[in-house]
Structure 1
């Protein structure tokens, strides 16, 4: 597993004014470059899972044609606006467009009705994906009859014994296990004891795959199955916006107007579910110190704004309350904007000038939002941890 350097650990508790100076210099220079050469920039090379997307040219065969009329069961540990479930949903839609019969199961649901789950389930139903109860007979029958079962994330392994029970051995040979996590607490026997016996594992990066291979062998004494590295990709819908200069301009104007941000202001964004591991607190502290530094040094730079996309005040988490209190105490409410969790990140990528990725939690993986920002030709400022995990990608 990639670790922080000792220097980074020592600095973590402090906000980094020098980093923000570098950020300001980088962003200002990059903006000048982007605004004068955006039409001639070469699109970043992103290894795209949407290569599986059926092509619009009718002369070319659908690469997923072999999945036509096949029954696919997808088991997700949860249904939320986080990376794992959304990636699985996109794969479900790709398979549906190829003619597969797709059934979705969410293993863990909150006891009370949830607006996000309701919205996402209806989105799947509208696209022809069946949604069934995780613990009913329908789930067991579907697993036994399916041509392919996809387990999404290591935690989904808990579903196997809890639901299939004595029938689990019958299903394992047709299981593809899609693993995203690197956190140590996922390496528990009750989660992954069946891992050696599935048809294969799919992991997002070579770094993560190597980590899983070593950790399962050393800690659990088990062997990984045949493992395939499939890098994260951007959705077709997002790429259509990213490649449309008119759409980007319209979205930029609309979002900035709604936030009260002028076109010439510099807008920094952190786009993740709000949680301590994603580093929104360090982002806001650094942003505040940059404002103080600009004022103290009388620097001539554009007006700065920050946007935190991924808020959820309905959950009333202690961490988000702390973030909002910090903004109030520092009296920067006119410079910091909170936006609720959303499936539609394209409008915010079109409206911002710099994306900041500051994941701090142990085992955090290389976020998909980074390559989504790359598609919009945005400069991306990442922490050491995030940069190390993204070393196999072409970042600029």
Structure 2
């Protein structure tokens, strides 16, 4: 009995162990006999043996990877790096149509080009909308307060005093947030000139929709194409940068920094932008390009800059931010590059105490570098390193429309096709402006302030128009009339009444031709130059003054006279039209604009020849429609002149002041004409305008030479080669 009990207990233990280990084979350890195949225990023990063995063999590789932790983590890191590269590359090329969460611009921070197309909105409508918005906000707040008070009165026992205070505080905070917004908007409107034709005359543009329809391509589809084989791309890949913008106006410095941020993103870098002043219209463009703008320009920006590989400040105005940043992080001076884009003494005075505390200074032109070094020597400022020079360049978007080979060209948008589309764009924009083929369009695109010299340009234009009219009246028409009258009166009685009538009709026809040559209006174009018209006039006067005409008018003389008279297909002389931008720019000076408007109101003949255009980043259509560009910077001249190289890229001759960076770009009598600064330059600029007005062929030759210079020195590839040298000296490159 004891043996049987022991045997039963042992069999139970074996069965229990087998239930815990179902995958192995089980045989009786006592009798040596296997369990019958038909028994329930055999089916229970051996039903899942084969599938588990197959599963183990299939998952053996994964178990090996899981057991080897080093290989497992290496695979995870590789996948993570690949995903990071994939999404960063998509963001850099702006493939995300929805935009980045948290980086979208607010409605009050900028003006988009779509908004600028509707420039017919006046200040009155804006003020009315603001007043209606403010009244609606106040009414909603009052209704909310009434509702809260009524609910509290009905249920005094259920609502605690703490909850009542919290509701009142939220209402007060909402009021406090609403009132400053309305006050800020109204204060901004008081400082602006109204965007109305009654104030300026005729406002044209912007022509963003015209560009898109004719070119079949938009810069919004593609922003930033990095040269992956270049040294700049190799240096900035996977690096972190912080860019400091002093404002968001559509001027040279903010635009250049925005394009630098775009290029860094497209080359695989991480970019954060700190904006010191949000005035201007570039916030929407930054958001469209996927550029991260930090919400805080204080503590958050300092922490971000500490973690960055390099900080690039884009203006002398950034001195205050640099000073505060170095007070928080003293060692940060070794990672700051200061790209200074101003050339006035006031900017040096506000930044001189910080010039020796940064890693390196970067200037735009040789004249600017010499001027700042002279000021540093005068103020005994010792720089930590030798400054470098990085001139600006024409971005790929403008070079693409101008027909210059760049990274945006494809078989569908070759250089030849873009040149043809540029010609179509020119004709379409000029037609919208109301210009004919004989109108010479002179443009000046910059912020409107005394430093840019728009008023002096208009004085030169007025002098040009007056001299042309007086010259024509005193020479051609006066000489013809004198000789014709002398031919009629010195007949000594030999002229018949029919001859007098015939000569009088010819004289009236000649006078009509003289007046039509002096008028400034649209006419049909032809190949007759102004010099040829003058020669015909003088030759006609000699024929009329001949003895043959004094005595008798033969049939052959009549044919000669009619051949020398102009027909309807001949073109009158070139006329002058001036376009000034940029209305609405935050860098404009209101008092200066009012002075220009008063000057135009005093000279109605000139005001009819002046056009205005709003501030916009879509300037390709304006360059395409123009014939001449004027950069009339005063004082020390333009620091560099971004608009100068953009105009030259479109084949425009440049009339500029003989100072600053303009004289380094524009070669006198080669790519343009130079004139002195100040009021003494008014007469010279007027003479230069007259020269180009009378010599269209010289305009074309100067423009082509300027375009060739841009292709050799001032494209994007040239700028970033120089910038790569700056990064090599300022960053730890392996």
TM-score band, normalised by shorter chain: 0.7 to 0.9
Task: Verify: 1:54 aligned to 2:226, yes or no.
Answer: yes
CA separation in 2, counterparts of 1:343 and 1:211? 30
Structure with the largest fraction of helix: 2
Task: Note the 1:72-221 alignment, pairs <5 A.
Answer: 72-109=241-278, 114=279, 116-117=280-281, 120-162=282-324, 164=325, 166-188=327-349, 191-221=351-381
Question: Pick from 389, 397, 400: which aligns with 1:240?
Answer: 400
Tell me what 2:635 maps to: 361
Tell me what 1:373 maps to: 647
Tell me what 1:326 maps to: 599
Greater shift in the superposed pair: 194-203 or 237-246: 194-203
Say which one has the larger Rg: 2
Structure 2 unaligned segments of length 5 or more: list them.
Answer: 1-223, 404-417, 473-517, 519-529, 531-572, 672-734
Structure 1 unaligned segments of length 5 or more: list them.
Answer: 1-51
Task: Verify: 1:69 aligned to 2:69, yes or no.
Answer: no
* TM-score when normalising by structure 1: 0.78
Change (3 A) 1:292 1:154: same
Change (3 A) 1:267 1:141: same
Task: Verify: 1:336 aligned to 2:610, yes or no.
Answer: yes
CA separation in 1, counterparts of 2:375 and 2:253? 21
CA separation in 2, counterparts of 1:171 and 1:302? 59
Task: Verify: 1:302 aligned to 2:574, yes or no.
Answer: yes
Change (3 A) 1:220 1:254: farther
CA separation in 2, counterparts of 1:78 and 1:224? 27
- The CA deviation string for residues 89-139 of structure 1, in whole angstroms up to 9 with x for no partner, is 110000000011111111134xxxx5x34xx22222222211013434321
Change (3 A) 1:122 1:229: same
Give the CA deviation at 1:226: 3.0
Task: Verify: 1:227 aligned to 2:392, yes or no.
Answer: no
CA separation in 1, counterparts of 2:433 and 2:454? 19
CA separation in 1, counterparts of 2:421 and 2:332? 46
Question: Would the aligned equivalents of 2:364 and 2:639 in 1 still touch at CA under 8 Å?
Answer: no
Change (3 A) 1:363 1:84: same
Higher RCO (CA < 8 A, seq sep 6+): 1
CA separation in 1, counterparts of 2:655 and 2:585? 26
Tell me what 2:457 maps to: 283
Give the CA deviation at 1:394: 5.7
Question: Would the aligned equivalents of 1:216 and 1:222 in 2 still touch at CA under 8 Å?
Answer: yes
Question: Would the aligned equivalents of 1:71 and 1:101 in 2 still touch at CA under 8 Å?
Answer: yes
Change (3 A) 1:97 1:283: same
Change (3 A) 1:228 1:221: closer
CA separation in 1, counterparts of 2:288 and 2:231? 22
SS of the equivalent of 1:392 reads helix
Tell me what 1:264 maps to: 438
Question: Would the aligned equivalents of 1:62 and 1:98 in 2 still touch at CA under 8 Å?
Answer: no
Question: Would the aligned equivalents of 1:274 and 1:312 in 2 still touch at CA under 8 Å?
Answer: no
Give the CA deviation at 1:363: 5.6
Give the CA deviation at 1:84: 0.7
Question: Would the aligned equivalents of 1:278 and 1:358 in 2 still touch at CA under 8 Å?
Answer: yes
Greater shift in the superposed pair: 263-272 or 234-243: 263-272
Structure with the largest fraction of strand: 1
SS of the equivalent of 1:385 reads coil
Change (3 A) 1:312 1:128: closer
Q: Alignment RMSD, CA only?
A: 2.3
Change (3 A) 1:333 1:103: same
Runs of 4+ with >4 A deviation? 313-316
Question: Would the aligned equivalents of 2:358 and 2:384 in 1 still touch at CA under 8 Å?
Answer: no
Greater shift in the superposed pair: 197-206 or 229-238: 197-206
- The CA deviation string for residues 241-260 of structure 1, in whole angstroms up to 9 with x for no partner, is 11132232122122212221
Tell me what 1:274 maps to: 448
- The CA deviation string for residues 322-352 of structure 1, in whole angstroms up to 9 with x for no partner, is 2123223211333110111121221111111
Question: Pick from 363, 373, 384: which aligns with 2:658?
Answer: 384
Question: Would the aligned equivalents of 1:105 and 1:132 in 2 still touch at CA under 8 Å?
Answer: yes
Tell me what 2:198 maps to: none
Question: Would the aligned equivalents of 1:101 and 1:129 in 2 still touch at CA under 8 Å?
Answer: no
SS of the equivalent of 1:64 reads helix
Change (3 A) 1:277 1:143: same
* TM-score when normalising by structure 2: 0.43
